[in-house]
Amino acid sequence: MDEERSPLRQLNEKPACHEPAEKSALSRLPVPSVKRPLPGKEQSAGQNSLRQPAKKRLLDQSDDKAPPNKRKMVSASVVGFKPRPPVMSQRPAVNPVYKTSAATVAGGPSRGAMKKPVAATSKPAAPSGVGAASRRPGWDLKGKMSDMQMKVSSYQEQVQNTKTQNRELREEAERARRELESLREEHSALLNKMRAYEMENQELSSLKRTLEMDLSRERALSAQRLQEVRELTQSNAEQTDKLHQGEMERRALHNTLLELKGNIRVFCRVRPLLDGGQQQSSFEIQPQDKTIVLVKTEESHIGKEKELHKYPFKFDHVFPPQCSQQQVFSEISLLVQSALDGYNVCSFAYGQTGSGKTYTMEGPDVLAGEEMGMIPRAVQQIFQAACKLREQGWEYQFTASFLEIYNETIRDLLVSNKTPKKMDYEIKRASPTADIRVTNLKYIPVSSEEEVLVLIKLAKQNRSTARTQVNDVSSRSHSVFQLRIEGKNAARDVSCNSILSLVDLAGSERVQKSQSTGDRLKEMKSINASLTNLGLVFSALASKDGFVPYRNCKLTYLLQDCLGGNSKTLMFVNISPEIESFSESLNSLRFASKVNECVIGTATANRK
Ligand code: ADP
Ligand code: MG
């Protein structure tokens, strides 16, 4: 009996092993000893339980291998299984115990399992359930069934949990994957960035290397250039010194040359026959253009024979009628250069009215082109030369004045009003060291050739206006253009100043005294006086007289600084070629040759 009850005992002994308390309680219910188990279910249950090991095996196999629902089906089929009649020899031994306990025990757990499936499954079912099942007697099919169900539901729950977990894990994995992906993307972006930075870095370092190389090359070059510049500066300074010395030597040589030629030089210029002019008087200009011979056939004193008279005159140069303005100027340009070197230069045009004085000095009305006279050409040369000398450190300032002396009265030709106020013009030397100037006269600073040309035009205009008003005063007045030149070479601490005077003298023609009265006589006397005085000044200078009559007339007084030891003088004697001008030409040539005989003392430059 004890042996038979052992399964119960087993249950009683281990009530709280892995089973719920309820379940254990059920198992401990008293087993009815009188009540026989009903044939049928119990029987079959008992029979079933007799076959339990085999069935269990079958169930276990199906349990283990089949899915939970399948397993349910299997246990159902086990419940409805119709047993074969039991083997009699086995019946007494097993029946009483197995029947009762099977009936009671089977109802308990199964109900419990049915009633509280949640409680059963809420615990970690798999291990307890499995453990309980393994301890359950083979006949406790319901219990087993319940165990199975518990197991199944536990498994289901586990499966559900696993599924949930799985889903969660999947989600997590998905998140992780996404995160990984984004991290990967980020990583690859960073990698790309890093590569770009690396490349940039490489480029920058190569650029840096190039720049460093360039810099060092530049440094080397600049050092070399600096050296070159130093050398050049030195050689430049030497060159400038040499140039300056050369320039000074040139000036000295130039002066010597002019001295050899004579500080007073006379050029003769014969005007061409003008349209409608009469027959040309005979004159010869000999080779080398230095001598002019006037030839005239005159009646002999006896009155029957004709005699050929020749009047030769030798000058520094004789210009035949066909000579151009440029050819004439080329002979005086050396003299003009002297004005920039610090020598006073004075050029006169002497001759009878109409012989070409104004044409020679100023040119025709149009002050440009081939026919430009000596004044504009001289001005042009001076400005060009001054520009070149600037390279050697020379800075020049120029002042122009233009006046007219008529009947010993001065008139400013640079006054622009048409009816100028009567001004008192007085020739004065402001101080013993100052140059001679005319009070109230316009001395206009000029800085270009064009500016001077404008002034010459104005003077021309003023002279021609006067001509219409006062019966051609211009031919009976002297016009004096002066350009004051002040040069400074600050670097060498040298300065020089000089005056270039270009004078268009009044007509030298003599007028019969008997025919002259009034103003005309006065004019004639005045002109004669000034021209005579000019001759006297030259001869006084030539004879080195202590006294030079500069102040005898306004012209010589005004030109005092430009006539004498400190100046170079050039006289043009203009000749009209017509036969009727013969005697005037002869007079002019005689006067000029007297001037030519004068040798004025050595000129010295006005240098400080
Ligand atoms: P002056 O001033 O001596 O009275 P001009 O210079 O007025 O004489 O000249 C008189 C005229 O002769 C002017 O019409 C001038 O143009 C002309 N003439 C003078 N010399 C020359 C020359 N070398 N070539 C051409 N024409 C000349
Ligand atoms: Mg004239």
CA distance 243 to 237: 9
- Token output for 436: 């001679």
**Phi, psi at 434, each rounded to 5°:** -80, 160
Strand partners, 446: 398
- Closest-lying ligand 1 atom to the alpha carbon of residue 349: 3
What is the sign of the dihedral through the CA atoms of 379, 380, 384 and 385?
Answer: negative
Cβ atoms of 121 and 153 closer than 8 Å: yes
Considering every ligand atom shown, identify the ligand nearest to the alpha carbon of residue 584 and give its number. Answer: 1
Angle at 363 between CA 361 and CA 368, to 5 degrees: 125
C-alpha of residue 594 to centroid of ligand 2, in Å: 23
Q: For residue 423, what pLDDT is reported? A: 83
Nearest CA to ligand 1 atom 5: 356
Show the tokens assigned to 358: 């104004």
Q: Which ligand is nearest to the CA of 404?
A: 2
Rounded mean pLDDT for each run of 10 residues along the chain, 608 residues in total: 42 42 43 45 43 45 44 40 43 41 41 42 45 68 80 79 80 83 86 89 90 89 87 83 76 65 82 73 73 82 74 91 93 87 91 93 78 92 92 92 92 81 87 90 94 91 62 78 94 89 90 64 81 88 82 93 82 90 91 80 58
Strand runs labelled E in 263-320: 264-270, 282-285, 291-299, 306-314, 317-319
Q: Which 3 state secondary structure label does DSSP give 426?
A: coil
Residue among 85, 93, 83, 99 at smallest CA distance from 35? 99
Best residue for ligand 1 mutational test, from 359, 460, 479 (most atoms within 8 Å of Cβ): 359
Q: What is the three-class DSSP state of 500?
A: strand
Tokens of 351: 């001759």
CA distance 601 to 147: 159
**Number of residues assigned to the chain:** 608
Candidates 138, 141, 145; CA nearest to 52 is: 138
The answer for residues whose C-beta is within 8 angstroms of residue 360's C-beta and 6 or more apart is 269, 325, 328, 349, 373, 374, 572, 574
CA of 356 to the centre of ligand 1 (A): 4
> Please, what is the end-to-end C-alpha distance for the chain in angstroms?
165
Phi, psi of 30 (to 5 degrees): -65, 140
Structural contact between residues 402 and 479, judged by C-beta atoms closer than 8 angstroms: yes
Residue whose pair of structure tokens reads 């359930």 in the numeric block: 129
pLDDT (0 to 100) of residue 287 = 62
Q: Which ligand is nearest to the CA of 321?
A: 1
Integer angstrom CA distances of residue 463 from 290, 471, 475: 34, 11, 10
Ligand 1 atom showing the smallest separation from residue 359 Cα = 6
Two structure tokens written together for 334: 């050396």
Structure tokens at 55: 């069935």
Q: Are 5 and 33 in contact (CB under 8 A)?
A: no
For 569, the token pair is 């003088």
Ligand 1, CB within 6 Å, residue ranges: 271-272, 274, 351, 353-359, 364, 475, 574
383 closest CA partner among 453, 327, 435, 328? 453
Number of the ligand closest to the Cα of 364: 1
Cα 290 to middle of ligand 2, angstroms:
25
What pLDDT, on a 0 to 100 scale, did the predictor assign at position 383? 95
Cα(264) to centroid(ligand 2), Å: 22
Q: Are strands 282-285 and 444-446 parallel, antiparallel or unpaired?
A: unpaired
Helices 68-79 and 141-261, packing angle to 10 deg: 180
pLDDT confidence of residue 385: 92
* 464: number of Cβ within 10 Å: 13
pLDDT at 403: 96
Contact 392, 243 (CB under 8 A): yes
What's the pLDDT at 588? 93
Q: Compute the C-alpha angle 37/41/44, nearest 5°.
A: 95
> What is the number of the ligand 1 atom nearest to the C-alpha of 574?
3
